[in-house]
Amino acid sequence: MKALNRLASFVLVLTVALAVAGCSGITWRPAEPVQQEAIVRAPSSSGILGANNPHIWFDSQAYTALDAIKSNGFNTVRIVWQTNGSGSRLKQIIDRCKALGLKPIPELHDVTGSTNSSDLDRMVTWWIDNKSYIAGDVWINIANEWGPRDSTVWRDAYRNAIQRMRSNGISNTIVIDSGGWGQDDQDIRKYAKELLGVDSNLMFSIHMYGEWNDNNKINDFLTYCKNNGLPIMVGEFGYNYNDGNNNLSCKVDAAYLIQRCKELGIGYIGWSWCGNNSENAWLDMTNDWKTLNYWGNLVRYGSTTTTPSPSPRPTPTPTSPVSGGYVVNYAIANDWGTGATVNVTIKNNTSSAVNGWTLTWTFHGNQQITTLWNGTYTQSGASVSVKNASWNAFIPANGGTVNFGFNLSYSGTNAEPVDFKLNGTPCAVQ
């Protein structure tokens, strides 16, 4: 009874209020629905046309190449980075991308192929420690190709990674590569929805090489993701080079892949702009950091009128067996007859970390270094000394590595040096 009296009183008050509103010229409307601005929707990769760019290994060339990437019609750069690179330098690269109208997607390459959850944790720690350098609108690709195939380990490790990043104030869209060197479709099919239940601001990334030589598999997976509302992009892919007789057994029909991506509204990013080592040189989209070759044109336009041919590479100079505490890999990435690009990796096989290093060697010809990245150098005649940069002075023990690279000019022959010394200690050559 009391409830009925209260209801009658409410109706009377409401009637009076409406009458007053009508007399005063006020139009009454139902209340507007509450805006759920705090709810973050899953992002879309639609329209992404990108190139992977190896900034961590070719600092100056890759940075300069951003202009060429833009001028050739690409709109996205997946920034290849590692934890030995500085957050401040990564910010400069991101800022340059934005200035050019390129979407930057930085990724950490350190633990490629790893299935150890602690490795993923280390990548998350780096992002947390360097979050002040990453603007909130930048997509963060936590780790390149980390994780096991078809595994709850992949799911659980990424759940933990997401929660750690969010609890430390990182609100950016998080990009998650599938396991199995990025090529496994089952991780995404089985566990992506569970991760989206943890956080909706995610983008999943599949890499398509030798495991994706079947167009039916490509179509089935991409269509599955689209129909099931899974945010997906193709973060790396290759093509049918040398009829699959390549180091990745890759016969991917890239033209078909690109066509289906466009039809389904899925973005794609080719591997990679330039700088691959000799066995991966067929995946260079340019040979000079600026001019599209067969592969570059295929990624850019989805078709090409020319056919690929193997890139000529110099015959490697025989080297001594790999042994000893320090090992140097001196790799000529590109040689054009009067100059070359060289990548150098120093590996520390000892039980003690190296904190601050200088690598010396002697050229056997008239080679002259013209520019060097990830270090500083001096050259007197044929004698060269390279000292670490501020961000890569530390070489972990038991297999830790650091990298630097340089361009050189020469005439005659370009033989590889073999007499490397690290802080005065002779090195083995790989």
91-103 pLDDT, tens per residue? 999 999 999 999 9
Listed residue (344, 394, 341, 264) closest to 60, CA to CA: 341
| pLDDT surpasses 70 at 310 | no
Catalytic, 260? Answer no
Residue 21: what pLDDT?
41
Among residues 55, 207, 260, 300, the one annotated as catalytic is 207
Backbone phi and psi for residue 257, each to the nearest 5 degrees, phi listed first: -55, -50
Q: Model confidence at 273, in pLDDT bands (50, 70, 90)?
A: very high
Among residues 107, 211, 236, 416, the one annotated as catalytic is 236
Listed residue (430, 422, 293, 268) closest to 357, CA to CA: 422
Catalytic, 207? Answer yes
Among residues 271, 273, 330, 361, the one annotated as catalytic is 271
pLDDT over 70, % of the chain? 85
Residue 136: what pLDDT?
94
> Which 3 state secondary structure label does DSSP give 287?
coil
Task: Provide the β-strand partners of residue 400.
Answer: 348
Catalytic, 334? Answer no
Among residues 81, 126, 139, 145, the one annotated as catalytic is 145
Element (H, E) at 174: strand 174-177
Catalytic, 245? Answer no
Domain ranges in the chain are 49-301, 326-429
| pLDDT surpasses 90 at 248 | yes
Among residues 146, 209, 330, 357, the one annotated as catalytic is 209
160 within 8 A of 167, measured Cβ to Cβ: no
Among residues 55, 78, 155, 300, the one annotated as catalytic is 78
The CATH number of the structural domain formed by 326-429 is: 2.60.40.290
> Which 3 state secondary structure label does DSSP give 317?
coil
Cα 274 from chain centroid (whole Å)? 14
End-to-end distance of the chain based on CA atoms, in angstroms? 93
> Which 3 state secondary structure label does DSSP give 87?
helix
Q: How far from 63 is each of 41, 90, 95, 238, 255, CA to CA, in Å?
A: 32, 10, 11, 23, 28
Among residues 144, 246, 334, 403, the one annotated as catalytic is 144
How much is the pTM? 0.65
Catalytic, 78? Answer yes
Catalytic, 239? Answer no
What is the topology classification, in CATH, of domain 49-301? TIM Barrel (3.20.20)
Catalytic, 109? Answer no
Average model confidence (pLDDT) across the chain: 87
